[in-house]
Amino acid sequence: MSLVIEQLLNGLTIGSFYALIALGYSMVYGVMKLINFAHGDLFALGSYLGYTLLVMGTAYVTSILGIWGGMIAAMLVAAIGSGVMGLLVERIAYRPIYPTGRLPAVVSALGVSIFLQNAIMVVWGARPQAYTSDVIPSNILTIGGLRINILQIIILFLSFLLMGILYYIIQKTTFGAAIRACALDRETAALMGININLIIFFIFALGPALGGTAGVMVGVYYRRISFIMGWNYGLKAFTATILGGIGNIPGAMIGGLILGVLEMLGSTYISTPYKDVFVFLVLILVLIFRPRGILGEKVAEKV
């Protein structure tokens, strides 16, 4: 029994990483109908920014803010850095291309992804880097045979908090209503007096900011970060987006969590080397029987 709970907890943790990254894909797709393939690398960038603040400035940062304060500071720095980079990417690589259609923008996104990945390699080196243990100690709690990493609890708490805040903004505020309106129909929303540019600015800053925060969490939790990590996490998060229903914010959160848990349970009870097969099988089944994803809105084709 304790094995199941341990694996569920592991699945939720990895799922919350996927969910945080998936939100970025989903928000951008919702408003722009563009798959931002550079998003995974913005996540990796956040991880490296947090690493730079924490590991290279260890003594300084943690002496002022304490260990947990330092971690929060690293997340803030990563969020701001990734957010700014997200805006730059939109301005430089996407905006000039929008008028030519959606496909060229997707190709441009892939180009940005390759560029960012290699830029990270040039700046921080090809070697994998580590969030060393003097920065973030790991504490294992043993409760009745159940081994729980305290970091897991903190990461779960923080990511649910972030997702909760985002959910509130999108679903309960006027600004959120404006975003949802843009996702439904950009032209009409503009006619109703919604400042489209502000919305685009917001989603391209907030999506990567959440991704960057997840990057720091991954670094703190697994300790190893590498310049190619963005691709792997990006692919899984993108899968989660589709699973939950692309363009739908709560869908991205649920899709990420489900994917994480499926991955863990699949590899525990079916086969570890085949766990990705299992995950993608579930995705294919969902797409066959419910093409819009778990929470996706019914797509009405515009003619």
Partner 1 sequence: MKRIKNIFILLVIVTLCLSVNALAQKDPVVIGLQGPLTGSAAVEGEMAKQCVETAALMVNEKGGILDGRMIEIELVDDAAQPKSGALAAMKLVSMKEVVAAIATYGSSVTQPASDIYEKFNKVNIAYGATVTELSERGLDYFFRTCGRTDTQGMFFAEEVVPYFEAERVAIMHDNTSFALGLAEEAKKFLLEAGTAELVYFDAITPGESDYTVPLTKLRETNPDLFYFTGYFSEAALIIRQAREIGIDAVFVGGDAAINEDFIRIAGLEYASGCYMTQEALIEYFTNPEAMEFKEKYQEAYGSLPSSPWSVYAGDALMVLAEAIDKTGSTDSDVIADYLKNEMEEFPSITGSIGFDEKGDRVGTGINLYVVNDDGSYSIVER
**Under rule CB under 8 A, residue 14 binds partner 1:** yes
Cβ atoms within 10 A of the Cβ of 160, count? Answer: 16
Segment near partner 1 (CB under 8 A), from 29-37, 42-50, 90-98, 272-280? 272-280
Q: Judge contact between 49 and 77, C-beta under 8 A.
A: yes
H helices within 270-303, ranges in order?
A: 275-289
**Segment contacting partner 1 by CB under 8 A, of 79-87, 132-140, 178-186, 280-288:** 132-140
Is residue 275 a contact point for partner 1 (CB under 8 A)?
yes
Half-sphere exposure of 40 (CA within 13 A, CB side): 26
By CB under 8 A, how many residues form the interface with partner 1? 33
Closest distance of CB 227 from partner 1, Å: 9
Kindly tell me which of 148 and 169 has the beta carbon lying closer to partner 1.
148
Asked whether position 235 contacts partner 1 by CB under 8 A, the answer is no
**Residue that the structure tokens 């294919």 belong to:** 284
CB 273 within 8 A of CB 20: no
6 lies in the site for partner 1, by CB under 8 A: yes
Sign of CA dihedral 74, 75, 78, 84: negative
- Binding span for partner 1 by CB under 8 A among 90-98, 189-197, 263-271, 281-289: 263-271
Instruction: For strands 146-149 and 129-130, give the pairing.
Output: unpaired
Which CB contacts under 8 angstroms, 24+ apart, belong to 112-115? 112/37, 112/38, 112/41, 113/37, 113/38, 113/40, 113/41, 113/230, 113/231, 113/234
How far apart are the C-alpha atoms of 186 and 179, rounded to whole Å?
A: 9
214 binds partner 1 (CB under 8 A): no
- Least distance to partner 1, CB of residue 71, Å: 17
Q: Does 232 bind partner 1 (CB under 8 A)?
A: yes
Asked whether position 3 contacts partner 1 by CB under 8 A, the answer is yes
Candidates 160, 167, 201, 222; binder of partner 1 (CB under 8 A) is 222
The footprint of partner 1 (CB under 8 A) covers 3, 6-7, 10, 14, 118, 121, 126-128, 130, 132-133, 138, 140, 147, 149, 218, 221-224, 226, 228-229, 232, 264, 267-268, 272-273, 275-276
